Structure 1
Amino acid sequence: MDRNTFTGFFLILVILFGATYFMKPSEEELKRERIVQDSIKQAQSGKLTKSKPAPAAATAPTAVDSNLLKGPFGRARVGNAQVVVLENEDLKVNINTKGGRVESVELKKFKTYDQKPLILFTAEESSFNLALKANGSNINTKDLFFSPSAPGLKVSQKDSAAVTFTANYGPNQSLQYVYTLKGEGFKLGFNIVTKGLENIMTAAPTIHWDALLRQKEKDIKSEHRYSGAYYQQGDEPVEHIGTTEDEKKDIGEDGKIQWVSFKQHFFSNVLISKEGFDKANLAVSTSAEPGVVKGFSASLTLPAKMNSYAMEFYFGPNRYNTLKAQGNNLEGIIDLGWGPLKWVNRFAVLPIFNALEKFNWGYGLIILVLTLILKLVLSPLTYKSYLSMAKMRVLKPEMDEIKAKVGEDNPTLLQQEYLKLYKKAGVNPLGGCIPMLLQMPIVMAFFFFFPNLFELRGEKFLWMTDLSTYDSFVNFGFEIPFMGDHLSLMCILMTISTLIYTYFNNQTSGATGQMKYIGYITPIIFLGVLNSYPAGLNYYYFLANMLTFGQQFLIRQFVNDEKIHAQIQENKKKPEGEKKQSSFQRRMEEYMRQQQSKQNKK
């Protein structure tokens, strides 16, 4: 990279950052735009957008036409809304007799970031309705009052309990919701039984499920980033919508939908169907209301002409091992990266992490040992990279002589002469880059691993009170472009360690000119990028830098520049036929010959 290229590259960065800062809309404009978008969505779809509509619980019976009482579900159209509680070691589930729906769920062993009870969703901010069409009549279960078989149950660890909610359609005809809860675990059994109704239903029943999910973690921006609607269709990989923008999707042409999930960063609400849903319409929207992460909506079409629909709810944490134990490939909810990064995390990093977790160490120590193991495994690549850079450093005086003879006016001839020198010396110019590139998938894999690692949630280490989010060393009280409203101490330490590593790396490689300073730009950019990422991730990068620096220090004790120089001189004396030449060097030589030939003709 020559001076002009570097100057242009730097100016492009200045323009991009400047344009982003000066042209971005104000917070007031953004809020106004979100309110307008929410109003449009509410007008178009009529879906749940308000966070606190008037509660429907404990309502008095409403006046109903006497003729209506004699019709389908007549007696179920009048009643008092009551709440039935199902509770085990992990869950507290509130079920409302009006609609027979799960109106709220509390995870008893977890708290929000501000130590409040962790409620996945509330009665006021959720809805669940089964739409039926029987004998030409449209029936919505949200308008019916169900009769429970028990007033409420608290299930012991070894037991399981079931409560049946019944709405009578007519003589010997009824609709039942059967909820089953075991003594422990995060699953709630949910069966829909249509006694005597399957033959009079003129259309497939459809479930309409909506929820507005509130902030549960310290950084709501991070929750926005990792929240969305996930689903699995047939044997296809798990897919998702709505993580980066408001989105809608119709699903159903390529096989049964096995399950649908309203996923937040660390917790999920999943509805699993054993028979599968025929169709699904999903929608995710971002609300302008403070403290609200996203709004979710799902319309799920059940198979027609059946008298029983076996389903399950999963209300629980997005912990990889917990989700995997549920079956149905629910662990696909967790984003472990794309392509090879996903396989690195799933088959290398995660098993090592699980093995270390069995020692019951603190997670700060586990991350340290995990980094040590990975650095040990990658040490042969680190050694080869350092050795190649050392060879290039030893060759630099000879390269400077060639540059002085040829001059900078003919870059093609200069590169051709360099290649001749590399060939004589038996040095591969890419020898230092290739080992570093091979390590990149692991470095990038951790960029997905730590932000999605549930185990770090609420875990303390040193001054960091929660390894799953940023550590606020300084709070500005206002937003700074590319930095946010705070400064993370661990991110600062990571940046400093990267700058130190870059300095010593330049000493090893002998980098000069603009190339010498490019390495210092990246850490400064990543200071802004990683400032709001989990402290656990920055802690890992800090350890990786320090351990790499330590590795290079040890390697320098065993790698002698004089011996390398002597070896290079020996290589130069070898006949041309005995020297090994990489395919890259052969292609480069051929390319340089062609370029020189074109230049000579000109």
Structure 2
Amino acid sequence: MKKRIVLLLAILGLASVLSGCTEINEPITKDSEGFWNQYIVYPLSWLITYFAQLFGNDYGLSIIIVTILIRLAILPLMIKQIQNSKAMQEIQPEILKLREKYSSKDQKTQQKLQQETMALFQKHGVNPLAGCLPLLIQMPILIGFYHAIMRTREIAEHSFLWFDLGERDPYFILPLLAGILTFVQQKLMMAGTENINPQMQTMLWMMPIMIVIFAVSFPAALSLYWVVGNIFMIVQTLVIKGSDIRKASEKAGGAQK
């Protein structure tokens, strides 16, 4: 878990670098130069504009459609992540036994622990870093989506529901929804997990707070992306982990009695 937190911080640092790779006020066009512009930002901008034109220049609806398409594209990775997470939970008792067996902190014992742990992962077909792969893929898309929204002038000129897409949500409804839905989605992902460690508990609260802070500062169009994406992921998690969530709920209900 510590490695995942370090990786998350590294990705956030990379995102900061990427967000500064281009002038945020420079309009994105098919003639924009550079790998980032040509293969990430412009395709997303074109996709948003394409669907908006199909639906009477409704850019809010277009962002919802593109968000769902992005989530469908990475769905196989998310399914793999959930399956890998479940496999990790199943072998936790064996991992704890290994840690007890090799509890000494000397270098030789710790190397033996690492070897035995990796052998256990290979035996059960578990990849301890698989949970980070969707994040690695999503982050450039998210930053690219931010650039596409900021640099596609047509988006800033349109509104959706109660907000202007190019401005912050005036009532902060979307940022709060994005944070709440992020919390719910993570909570569902943890359903059925026993002995949740302090790092996971910290991330459970840290991620929603970070999302709210970012969403308050960013255009409402990006908050809309977060809200729709989280709703998709909640439904996805309920479908894939439905039995685990029901068992966890029944166990919690029985404990209360």
TM-score, structure 1 normalization: 0.34
Q: 1:353 aligns with which of 48, 51, 74?
A: 48
1:351–1:389 CA distance, 2 compared to 1 (3 A): same
Q: Corresponding residue for 1:422?
A: 121
Greater RCO between the two (CA within 8 Å, min separation 6)?
Answer: 2
Q: After superposition, where does 1:92-111 map in structure 2 within 5 Å?
A: none
**1:304-352 per-position Cα deviation (integer Å, ceiling 9, x unaligned):** xxxxxxxxxxxxxx5x56xx6xxxx4x56xxxxx7547512223x2332
Report the Cα distance in structure 1 between the residues aligned to 2:127 and 2:136, rounded to whole angstroms.
15
1:524 equivalent in structure 2: 209
Q: CA deviation at 1:543?
A: 0.9
Check the 8 A contact 1:388/1:431 in 2, yes or no: yes
Q: Which residue of 2 aligns with 1:443?
A: 142
Equivalent positions of 1:171-210 (< 5 A) are none
- Sort the Cα spacing of 1:416 and 1:507 in 2 relative to 1 into closer, same or farther, 3 A: farther
2:252 aligned partner: none
Letter of the 1:352 partner, please give it. L
* Conserved 8 A contact 2:182-2:207: no
Equivalent AA in structure 2 for residue 468 of structure 1: G
Matches within 5 A, 1:546-557: 546-557=231-242
Query: What's the offset of the Cα at 1:501?
Result: 1.9
- Cα 1:435–1:457, aligned 2, differ >3 Å: closer, same or farther? closer
Q: Which residue pairs with 1:470 in the alignment? A: 168
CA contact under 8 A between 2:150 and 2:156: conserved in structure 1? Answer: no
Secondary structure in structure 1 of the residue aligned to 2:167: coil
Q: Once the two structures are superposed, what CA deviation does each residue of 1:475-500 show, in whole Å capped at 9, x if it has no partner?
A: xxxxxxxxxxxxx2211211111122
Deviations 1:427-482 (A, max 9, x none): 22223322432333212211222222212224222221x11010222xxxxxxxxx
Q: Secondary structure at the match of 1:531?
A: helix
**Which residue in the other structure is 1:77 paired with?**
none
- The 1:499–1:441 alpha-carbon spacing in structure 2 relative to 1, beyond 3 Å, is same
Conserved in 1, the CA contact under 8 Å of 2:185 and 2:237? no
Structure 1 residues 383, 404: CA separation in 2 closer, same or farther (over 3 Å shift)?
same
User: Residue 537 in 1 paired to residue 222 in 2?
Assistant: yes
The Cα shift of 1:540 comes to 0.4
Equivalent-residue separation in structure 2 for 1:493 and 1:383 (angstroms):
24
Map of 2:101 onto structure 1:
405
| Count of matched residue positions in the alignment of Structure 1 and Structure 2 | 226
Equivalences for residues 67-216 of structure 1 within 5 A: none
State the distance in 2 between where 1:438 and 1:531 align: 24
Specify which structure has the higher proportion of helix: 2
How far residue 534 of structure 1 moved from its aligned partner, in angstroms, is: 0.3
1:261 aligned partner: none
Q: CA deviation at 1:420?
A: 2.1
Paired letter, 1:385 = Q
* Residue 40 of structure 2 is aligned to residue 344 of structure 1: yes
Deviations 1:12-43 (A, max 9, x none): xxxxxxxxxxxxxxxxxxxxxxxxxxxxxxxx
Query: What is the correspondence of 1:378-389 to structure 2 with a 5 Å cutoff?
Result: 378-389=74-85
Please report the TM-score for the alignment, with normalisation by the length of structure 2: 0.73
- The CA distance in 2 between the partners of 1:397 and 1:546, in whole Å, is 33
User: Is the CA contact 1:406–1:413 (under 8 Å) kept in the aligned structure 2?
Assistant: yes
Q: Aligned letter for 2:197?
A: T
Question: CA–CA distance in 2 between the matches of 1:399 and 1:542?
Answer: 36
How far, CA to CA, are the matches of 1:342 and 1:386 in structure 2?
32
Letter of the structure 1 residue corresponding to residue 168 of structure 2? Y
Q: How far did residue 547 of structure 1 move? A: 0.7
Given residue 551 of structure 1, which amino acid in structure 2 is its aligned partner? Q
Judging changes above 3 Å, is the alpha-carbon distance between structure 1 residues 453 and 558 closer, same or farther for their aligned structure 2 residues? farther
Q: RMSD of aligned C-alpha atoms?
A: 3.4
Equivalent residue runs for 1:204-353 within 5 Å: 265=25, 318=27, 320=28, 329=31, 331=32, 339-340=35-36, 343-347=39-43, 349-353=44-48
Give the structure 2 partner of residue 497 of structure 1: 181
Aligned to 1:366: 62
Paired residue type of 1:504: L
| Residues 139-176 of structure 1: CA deviation (Å, up to 9, x unaligned) | xxxxxxxxxxxxxxxxxxxxxxxxxxxxxxxxxxxxxx
Q: Deviations over 1:508-544 (max 9, x none)?
A: 7765232331342233234223312100111101111
Q: Distance in 1 between matches of 2:192 and 2:132?
A: 13
Could you tell me how far apart the structure 2 residues matched to 1:549 and 1:375 are?
Answer: 12
Asked if the contact 2:49/2:62 (under 8 Å) is kept, the reply is no
Shift of residue 408, structure 1, vs aligned partner:
6.6
Alpha-carbon distance in structure 2 between the residues aligned to 1:556 and 1:450 = 33
The alignment-based identity, stated in percent, is: 26
> Displacement of 1:362 after TM fit?
2.3
Q: Which runs of 5+ in 1 are unaligned?
A: 10-224, 227-238, 244-264, 267-317, 333-337, 474-487, 561-602
Equivalent pair of 1:471/1:489 in contact (CA under 8 Å)? yes
Indicate the SS of the match to 2:136.
helix
Aligned residues of 1:371 and 1:544 also touching (Cα < 8 A): yes
Letter in 2 for 1:356: F
Structure 1: which amino acid aligns with 2:170? S
The aligned counterpart of 2:130 is: 431
Q: What letter is aligned with 1:467?
A: L
Distance in 1 between residues matched to 2:91 and 2:57, nearest whole Å: 48
Residue identity opposite 1:427 in structure 2: V
